[in-house]
């Protein structure tokens, strides 16, 4: 079993209030990493304005984490409630001060046996290639040609489920000015954003209006503005178990479709080989309803805000 530590790679989990999900995530991770590897966990706190049920769930997770083996786990407990975005940013900042290469798992991501080897290989191989900015463990369902020879394909945006990246990318992300209006009110920038998924315009607008909280839209924008690429496995190396109504961005619904199968006959991608057809298939998965897209694309931001608030009041 290959060691993450010997390859200079750090791995961490973001935790909050889903104890059963977290236990499964940790169990699967421990099963497939080297015995000497350390697992970092960043645990957000509760605030007094949360419901008693939420606080109870958060306290249960904290109790569980406090009893983990201190030699195997490094747990960082937040003293106050950070919220998803701040906890995510602070966790990455902490990890990239210790490691040049990092893997992030949310508490509903179950890795498969080949995930670690896949991550180690590509984190090492493309460490100094500025074009490659992200590695994703989730294999989104697209049609792979039978003669396609690689175990991965490249896209102009990333998925966050089982995410690997480098300090060089984090530095660019940290320095990037996160100005919503410079993107959604600028024709050139808005077109760039939309070219990598219609959903991004909606998410960026809702994030600006503080009606949603998204860090991934900024992670993706950093890739877009730097003309970067993300590595995706042709068959999924992780399962997302958050489609049970407990996830922040994943509601109770049908799972996001993934590719699966045997990839033993596929080879590593040893040169940047971007396939526009595969990228287009991938981007197509992020289309939203035509009416919704047109509303976000055409209407002024203030009017969008009013319509969303009316929709909530009327429960349409």
* DSSP codes joined into one string, 62-105: HHHHHTS-TTTEEEEE-SS---HHHHHHHHHHHHHHH-SEEEEE
Q: State the chain's mean pLDDT as an integer.
A: 93
Least confident of 124-128, 152-156, 210-214, 218-222: 210-214
Tell me what pLDDT residue 262 has: 59
Task: Give CA–CA dist 142/119, Å, rounded.
Answer: 21
Question: How many Cβ atoms are within 10 Å of 49's Cβ, its own excluded?
Answer: 7
The separation between CA 114 and the C-alpha centre of its own chain, rounded to angstroms, equals: 19
Same domain, 103 and 119: no
By three-state DSSP, how is residue 198 classified?
helix
In this prediction, residues 254-275 reach a mean pLDDT of: 81
Tokens representing 70 are: 């201190």
Among residues 107, 126, 155, the one where a domain terminates is: 107
Q: What is the pLDDT of residues 159-210, one digit of tens each?
A: 999 999 999 999 999 999 999 999 999 999 999 999 999 999 999 999 999 9
> Tokens at residue 244, please?
């049970």
Indicate if 268 and 252 belong to the same structural domain.
yes
* 7 close to 101: Cβ distance less than 8 angstroms: yes
Q: Which of 82, 107, 132 is the last residue in one of the domains?
A: 107
pLDDT value at residue 263: 59
The verdict on 149 and 17 lying in the same domain is: no
What share of the chain in percent tops pLDDT 90? 87
Query: By three-state DSSP, how is residue 260 classified?
Result: coil
Question: Confidence class of residue 308 from pLDDT cuts 50, 70 and 90?
Answer: confident
Last residue of a domain, one of 107, 140, 166: 107
Residues 86 and 118 reside in one and the same domain:
no
Token couple for 257: 């479709």
The per-residue pLDDT for 279 is: 98
Residues 62 and 178 in one domain: no
The pLDDT value recorded for residue 157 is: 97
- Cα dihedral 181, 186, 192, 196, rounded to 10, equals 40
189 and 300 assigned to the same domain: yes
Mean pLDDT of 130-140: 97
Tokens of 108: 């509903």
Provide the whole-model pTM. 0.93
- Cα–Cα–Cα angle for 285, 256, 149, rounded to 5 degrees: 65
- Our measurement of the distance from residue 31's CA atom to the centroid of its chain's CA atoms, rounded to an integer in Å, reads 22
Q: In this structure, are 183 and 168 located in the same domain?
A: yes
pLDDT band at 311 (very low <50, low <70, confident <90, very high): confident
Are 290 and 142 contained in the same domain? yes
Q: Residue 254: is its pLDDT beyond 90?
A: no
Report, as an integer, the average pLDDT of 250-259.
63
pLDDT tens-place string over residues 6-65: 999 999 999 999 999 999 999 999 999 999 999 999 999 999 999 999 999 999 999 999
Average pLDDT value for residue range 78-106: 97
Phi, psi of 170 (to 5 degrees): -60, -40
Q: Find the CATH number of the domain harbouring 94.
A: 3.40.50
Identify the band that residue 249 occupies on the pLDDT scale cut at 50, 70 and 90: very low
Find the domain containing 137 and state its range.
114-316
Q: Are residues 193 and 303 in the same domain?
A: yes
Within this chain, do residues 196 and 231 fall inside the same structural domain, yes or no? yes
Buried b (16+ CB within 10 A) or exposed e, 94-132: bbbeebebbbbbbbbbbbbebbbebbbbbbeebeeeeeb
Task: For residues 91 and 175, state if they share a domain.
Answer: no
Domain total in the chain: 2
With a cut of 60, say whether residue 246 has pLDDT above it: no
Residue 6: count other Cβ atoms within 10 Å of its Cβ: 11
Say yes or no: 89 and 167 in one domain: no
* Across 219-235, average pLDDT: 97
Task: From residue 263, give the alpha-carbon distance in Å to each of 30, 146, 186, 199.
Answer: 23, 11, 42, 30
Judge whether 179 and 275 are in contact, CB under 8 Å.
no
């Amino acid at each position: 079993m290959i060691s993450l530590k010997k390859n200079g790679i750090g791995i961490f989990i973001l935790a909050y209030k889903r104890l059963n999900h977290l236990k499964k995530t940790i169990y699967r991770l421990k099963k497939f990493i080297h015995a000497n590897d350390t697992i970092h966990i960043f645990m957000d706190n509760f605030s007094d304005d949360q419901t008693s049920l939420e606080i109870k769930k958060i306290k249960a997770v904290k109790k569980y984490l406090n009893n983990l083996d201190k030699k195997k786990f490094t747990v960082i407990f937040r003293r106050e409630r950070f919220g998803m975005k701040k906890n995510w940013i602070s966790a990455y900042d902490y990890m990239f001060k210790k490691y040049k290469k990092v893997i992030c798992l949310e508490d509903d991501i179950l890795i498969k046996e080949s995930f670690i080897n896949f991550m180690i290989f590509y984190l090492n191989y493309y460490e100094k290639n500025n074009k490659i900015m992200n590695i994703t463990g989730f294999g989104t369902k697209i049609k792979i040609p039978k003669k396609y020879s690689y175990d991965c394909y490249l896209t102009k945006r990333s998925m966050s489920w089982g995410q690997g990246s480098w300090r060089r990318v984090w530095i660019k992300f940290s320095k990037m000015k996160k100005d919503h209006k410079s993107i959604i009110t600028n024709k050139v920038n808005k077109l760039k954003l939309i070219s990598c998924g219609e959903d991004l315009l909606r998410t960026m607008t809702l994030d600006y209006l503080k009606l949603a909280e998204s860090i991934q839209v900024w992670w993706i924008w950093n890739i877009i503005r730097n003309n970067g690429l993300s590595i995706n496995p042709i068959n999924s190396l992780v399962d997302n178990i958050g489609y049970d109504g407990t996830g922040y961005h994943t509601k109770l619904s049908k799972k996001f479709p993934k590719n699966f199968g045997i990839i033993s006959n596929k080879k590593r991608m040893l040169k940047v080989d971007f396939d526009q057809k595969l990228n287009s298939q991938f981007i197509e998965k992020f289309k939203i309803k035509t009416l919704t897209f047109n509303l976000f694309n055409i209407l002024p931001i203030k009017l969008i805000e009013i319509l969303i608030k009316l929709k909530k009041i009327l429960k349409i």
